[in-house]
Structure 1
Amino acid sequence: MVSTSLGVLQSDLIKFKPLLPLDFPCVLNMYVHKTWKVLSIYQFDMAVYTKIFVKFPKKFWPEGKGREFFLYVSSRRGYYGVWQEFEAQYPDANVLLVTVTDKESRRIEQQSDNQTKAEIMEVLRSMFPGEDVPDATDILVPRWWSDRFYKGTFSNWPIGVNRYEYDQLRAPVGRVYFTGEHTSEHYNGYVHGAYLSGIDSADILINCAQKSMCKYHVQGKYD
């Protein structure tokens, strides 16, 4: 049972012997027939979604009802745009969260935390020009994309990909079974999707081992 992330499957971290895929007789085109599993893996995206936590010695941002979130508008796409404060959840924690994604996530992961902190301080002082904005005392920058055991944050269904490709992504190859949030039918991208897909994949494997119900059906793309 392979439960690694889609990003890992798209990398060269795991070597399959024999190589993926094995024959899949319901696919007619000879090229697709020989490459269906690899194609299904690469037809899905591995998104990068980074939540950066920054701690300060004091609060300088607005609080109260309707002020949990605030935005920064930049001419640079995705540049430290979405902010959240946690006073209701963690009183006096003095922590802000800023969310970045995709290209900005990859860029930030490749620079030092001090560089990221300096960029954040410049943005915050631009957002609150009339406030005494102190330097941050701590910062947490997750690096899901750089981690070879994740290579991203969660899977994403691109436009044009439908249930057919999903069934192929989830389908076993011989005695090799696949699970993870990217194989969850209803909750891909979420932790509970990973949990539920584990149960589904285990049921498929158990039915094969105990009841000889090993055939995995993939409907046609336009059925």
Structure 2
Amino acid sequence: MKPMHSVIVIGGGFAGIAAARALHDASFQVILLESRDKIGGRVCTDYSFGFPIDLGASWLHGVCKENPLAPLIGRLGLPLYRTSTGDNSLLFDHDLESCALFDTDGNQVPQELVSQVGETFESILRETNKLREEFSEDMPIQHAISIVFERNPKLRLEGLPQKVLQWYLCDMESWFAADADKISLHCWDKVSEEELLPGGHGLMVQGYEPVINTLAKGLDIRLGHRVKTINRQMVRVKVTIENGKTFVADAAIMAVPVGVLKSKAISFEPGLPEWKEEAISNIGIGIENKIVLHFESVFWPDVEFLGVVAETSYQCSYFLNLHKATGHPVLVYMPAGQLAMDIENMSDNTIASFAVTQLKKIFPHASDPIRYLVSRWGSDVNSLGSYSYAKVGNPHDICEKLRMHVHNLFFAGEATSASYPGSVHGAYLSGVMTAQDCRMQLLKHYGKLDLFHPVVDEDTFASMPLLISRVLVNKENEIESLI
């Protein structure tokens, strides 16, 4: 079939690939421009260890058939290691029963105390919710917690329990990739229980790369094409890349990370309207990095994650145990917020040494890693941040404003997803929805709109059950199917 209309998609992450896939399958002429030398964006599966390691997104949040990525993951037979079985868990992508927390002297915190402090933390968060009705003006969640302590002295903790509480705060900051003094009281849990997908959280054992490669198959993708200028004309869009080459189409979809939009590395002619510029400027973009440590052998407990409790959340630590899910002796240190930003100022070797130092606080005789990997999402010019979060003062409709199109210029990405921000399936779904919006606007403009023609064929991805387990994958990477 002869292509009907042309669209330029800018950005080869999940949102951009999903948008390009949907429009291509709807017989549009699509060119995707990606600044990196590979697709994936903030999904980055590394194979330098001889097995897959996700340096960016690595979880499927909502292990269920309702997840829009489930049909494709199921069809590909990719195994998931479920790190959390609880439904609608906004904060934790793991179950606390499979954790081991230690103080800085290497003493393990009793599990009973971990659970008790967890209940106290939940009580504190419930009390902060009450402040929303009392204070019309937004405030950082950290300030809200201090007010709760002033009004409810019994919730204050001291000694080891206080350090465990700081670890819980550190874990919350990791979810948002931002410090508690920047997270919005009014919006931090704005995703309602009805919008959260059930099924808990699953780690992509083989990484996300097979998923995005499947989506990208057959698309016209131009790598190493860094966009510098977008010129909107009456019925066309002209896109100019770094070397001066131009591309022209009926419409364009911006699927670059919001950090890149905030940096103004791409100029718009004419400029974006004030409401769009304001939304881009105000949305929060957090940083969470991964320092992957590959050891000769395992010397740590058989739990899903390890934590170091301390006086402040900045001093606390979080290690994901990939051996539990993959069988490889790998720990992943995951700093977030200000700590993640500070670490990016160091060399890779110094960063790895810093992570090992945190580990040796709980295992003084730990061996040094044989290899390591370091992510730098905050300083990577192609991302300038890990994912969006609810910043203090953000209006509730900021995601919708980010997604709204400007004439024939459309926007996609995890930050534009009001229901699933900061997630891979949120990015994917935003790409599909934006492609639908773009298609309908173009066909409406040219008088060819068919409301009954879906932008994505329902048979594109045959539904297959997800392969889920909470047991170690065997040597052949076979995994028990629980559904």
Bin of the TM-score, shorter chain as denominator length: 0.7 to 0.9
2:331 to 62, 78, 96: 96
CA offset digits 1:98-153 (Å, max 9, x no partner): 11101111111221111112222222222123xx3111111111111111111111
Name the aligned partner's letter for residue 96 of structure 1: L
2:269 matched to 1:17?
yes
Letter in structure 1 aligned against 2:353: A
Q: Is the 8 A contact 1:144 1:152 kept in 2?
A: yes
TM-score, normalised with respect to structure 2: 0.38
Q: 1:141 aligns with which of 367, 370, 374?
A: 374
Letter in 2 for 1:60: F
Q: In structure 2, what residue type is equivalent to 1:95?
A: V
1:12 Cα shift? 2.3
Alpha-carbon distance, 1:192 to partner: 1.2
Match of 1:115 in 2: 350
Q: Aligned with 2:339: secondary structure?
A: helix
1:1-223 equivalences in 2 (<5 Å): 1-21=253-273, 35-63=274-302, 67-75=303-311, 77-79=313-315, 81-91=317-327, 93-129=328-364, 132-212=365-445
Are the aligned partners of 1:86 and 1:96 in contact in 2 as well (CA < 8 Å)?
Answer: yes
Pairwise CA distance, 1:170: 1.2
- Report the Cα distance in structure 2 between the residues aligned to 1:180 and 1:208, rounded to whole angstroms: 19
SS of 1:84's partner is strand
Distance 1:80 1:136, change over 3 A: farther
5+ long unaligned stretches in structure 2:
1-252, 447-483
Corresponding letter in the other structure for 2:292: F
Any unmatched runs of 5+ in structure 1?
A: 22-34, 214-223
Report SS of the residue matched to 2:335.
strand
What is the percentage of aligned positions where both structures have the same residue? 31
Partner-residue secondary structure (3-state), 1:188: coil
Spell out structure 1 runs of 4+ moving beyond 4 A.
none
Deviation at 1:180, TM superposition (A): 1.0
Letter paired with 2:307? L
Letter in 2 for 1:54: L
Would you say the 8 A contact 2:400–2:417 is kept in 1? no
Moved more, 94-103 or 112-121: 112-121
Question: Once structures 1 and 2 are overlaid, which stretch shifts more, 68-77 or 97-106?
Answer: 68-77
| Matching residue's letter, 1:84 | L
Rounded Cα–Cα distance in structure 2 between residues aligned with 1:117 and 1:199: 38
Q: What TM-score comes out, normalization by structure 1 length?
A: 0.80
Q: Does the Cα contact within 8 Å between 1:8 and 1:150 map onto a contact in 2?
A: yes
RMSD: 1.8
Summarize the Cα distance change of 1:80–1:112 in structure 2 as closer, same or farther, 3 Å threshold: farther
Distance across 2 between alignment mates of 1:208 and 1:126: 58
When structure 1 is superposed on structure 2, of 49-58 and 159-168 the one drifting more is 159-168
* Equivalent residue letter for 1:7: G
Q: 1:8 to 1:124 in 2, by over 3 A?
A: same
Equivalent residue of 1:177, what SS?
strand
Q: Which amino acid aligns with 2:310?
A: S
Q: Is the 8 A contact 1:80 1:98 kept in 2?
A: no
SS at match of 1:78: helix
The structural deviation recorded for 1:85 is 1.3
Contact 1:181–1:193 under 8 Å retained in 2 = yes
Distance 2:399 2:355 in 1: 39
Aligned equivalents of 2:413 and 2:266: distance in 1? 16
Aligned equivalents of 2:263, 2:445: Cα separation in 1 = 33
Measured in 1, the distance between the counterparts of 2:438 and 2:307 equals 47
Name the amino acid aligned to 2:354: E
**1:160 positional shift:** 4.0
Deviation at 1:187, TM superposition (A): 1.1
Q: Secondary structure at the match of 1:200?
A: helix
Q: Letter of the aligned partner of 1:18 in structure 2? A: P
CA contact (8 A) 2:317 2:358 kept: no
Which has the larger strand fraction? 2
Looking at structure 2, the residues matched to 204 and 12 of structure 1 have their Cα atoms a distance apart, in angstroms, of 25
